[in-house]
Structure 1
């Protein structure tokens, strides 16, 4: 191998090192910082950076003093995740705004990398720019959910029943649909009391937390529930510590009783009771739940609520068992 070959290989190796450093960095990196990390003169690193920039692998940030990587076409999965995370972040801030710089910090990238994504979402009416560099959720995003909301006959049919339950219990009544491995609120009727526990429509949670999720796990095929618990990253959000073996034992009890009761699993100090709504063949279609502050109830009252839920659904012709 000639000296020229050795030099080219060394240069290529250094180029790959620079690219790896930029990909691993939480944000843009300056020329001097790269020079220190590589132990190379700035003139050498500068030539490598210009070569990578010409190849479309990296770009300068808005200040022109630092460099970051450019998302490649094979990163389609990351693009989808970033798009959903952007909409979610703006939804959590609504009616407030979030700056492009804040989003870039959230995703550990450059604001320039988000420019195309933000423009595309704006063109589709999902988000809008309130002022230069600041974005918020737009009403056009409602069109995405319209088919689900407008054509959910079950939710529409259950609305009067849920309203009656709210009047009787004076607590928040929820209807969940199961979407993949999450439970999503599709109807929310808040308690009229000043101290209450409320979830907005569209709120989504993992199945291993809360009464609604426990019911969903208990009434799905046992093999699917077991696989979910084996693969899920069981993360605590309160003092409650979710453990797969303990949850598995709970599921048998829930299926036997026909309801689930939980205390402080998703939110400290919150209590919930949930009952399944099953189809003609015993398949789970939805979950109806009552949630309230834990200080206002006890186990006996929650059990009475569960019985009331089941009786109300049965009187209305809904099936609350899996046919086994």
Structure 2
């Protein structure tokens, strides 16, 4: 968050120290979950003394931990918050996923990018009996999934390469993309056409069509999965506009779920002085 954004948000009646602390957590997440004070100063625009004070508080609360090399990493207490936040997301998503199942007859999923992994947070199963690998709570590497491609297509290529370097690209099937160059070429196609396809790459005989949920508070994608014999190119052409429409509707639902601002002046901030 640039300094101008910090000043603007604090003028809205919020608690400046809280706004700054959450901004630092987001900068850490953008940096891959681990960073140093000088990097945080460069990315946030905040003075080093302010960052050091806020980080001490976050460490004491368990939301950040300090590594032996003196760098800071996101802490374990954030996992509990993330899991709790995913539950209402799933509740809001299910009616929209149910609409996809009703229209396509196939299984619909919602997935988030959590660190370097894709986690499935909501699912409405197909009426057909075929069981696929996806299930709520499952975590997978993003390179072999349609939702993973949809999620990573929104990132710069350099960040995608760094992520793939951390996760590796093992083959789930003979169709899995296993090199960064091949995967980045696939992402270019996703950006051009506005949807991603997993074509037998995670599970032989299964195709998945996925799109990004625009303007989601956390990176999210929805998908339709089913047998490759049913999710043909012709079927995909018909399903993509519906997926994109449902993604927009889900985005609007998530935006509408934000809590209204409370009335009255903001709470005084004992750390509101500059620096």
Length-normalised TM-score, structure 2: 0.57
Larger-Rg structure: 1
Residue in 2 that maps onto 1:215:
150
Residue in 2 that maps onto 1:306:
240
Aligned-pair CA distance for 1:145: 6.4
Match of 1:173 among 103, 108, 118: 108
**Secondary structure at 1:225's aligned position in 2?**
helix
Equivalent-residue separation in structure 1 for 2:252 and 2:193 (angstroms): 17
Question: Structure 2, unaligned stretches of length 5 or more?
Answer: 1-78, 254-275
Provide, for residues 210-263 of structure 1, a one-character-per-residue CA deviation record: whole Å limited to 9, x for no partner: 101111111123321122234442110111142211111111111122110121
Mapping of 1:74-85 within 5 angstroms? none
Aligned-pair CA distance for 1:297: 2.5
Compared with structure 1, are the counterparts of its residues 179 and 218 closer, same or farther at alpha carbon in structure 2 (3 Å cutoff)?
same
| Greater RCO, CA 8 A, separation 6+ | 2
- How many residues end up aligned between the 2 structures? 174
**Secondary structure at 1:309's aligned position in 2?**
helix
Residue in 2 that maps onto 1:291:
225
**Secondary structure at 2:143's aligned position in 1?**
coil
Residue in 1 that maps onto 2:191:
255
Residue in 1 that maps onto 2:92:
157
CA contact (8 A) 1:191 1:198 kept: no
RMSD: 2.5
Provide, for residues 56-92 of structure 1, a one-character-per-residue CA deviation record: whole Å limited to 9, x for no partner: xxxxxxxxxxxxxxxxxxxxxxxxxxxxxxxxxxxxx
Equivalent-residue separation in structure 2 for 1:200 and 1:316 (angstroms): 20
CA contact (8 A) 1:172 1:196 kept: no
Match of 2:83 among 138, 148, 151: 148
Residue in 1 that maps onto 2:182:
246
Aligned-pair CA distance for 1:149: 4.5
Equivalent-residue separation in structure 1 for 2:86 and 2:116 (angstroms): 22
Question: Structure 1, unaligned stretches of length 5 or more?
Answer: 1-143, 320-324
CA contact (8 A) 1:278 1:284 kept: no
Equivalent-residue separation in structure 2 for 1:150 and 1:235 (angstroms): 30
Match of 2:128 among 180, 190, 193: 193
Compared with structure 1, are the counterparts of its residues 231 and 149 closer, same or farther at alpha carbon in structure 2 (3 Å cutoff)?
closer
Residue in 1 that maps onto 2:202:
266
Equivalent-residue separation in structure 2 for 1:213 and 1:312 (angstroms): 18
Mapping of 1:72-111 within 5 angstroms? none
Aligned-pair CA distance for 1:311: 1.8
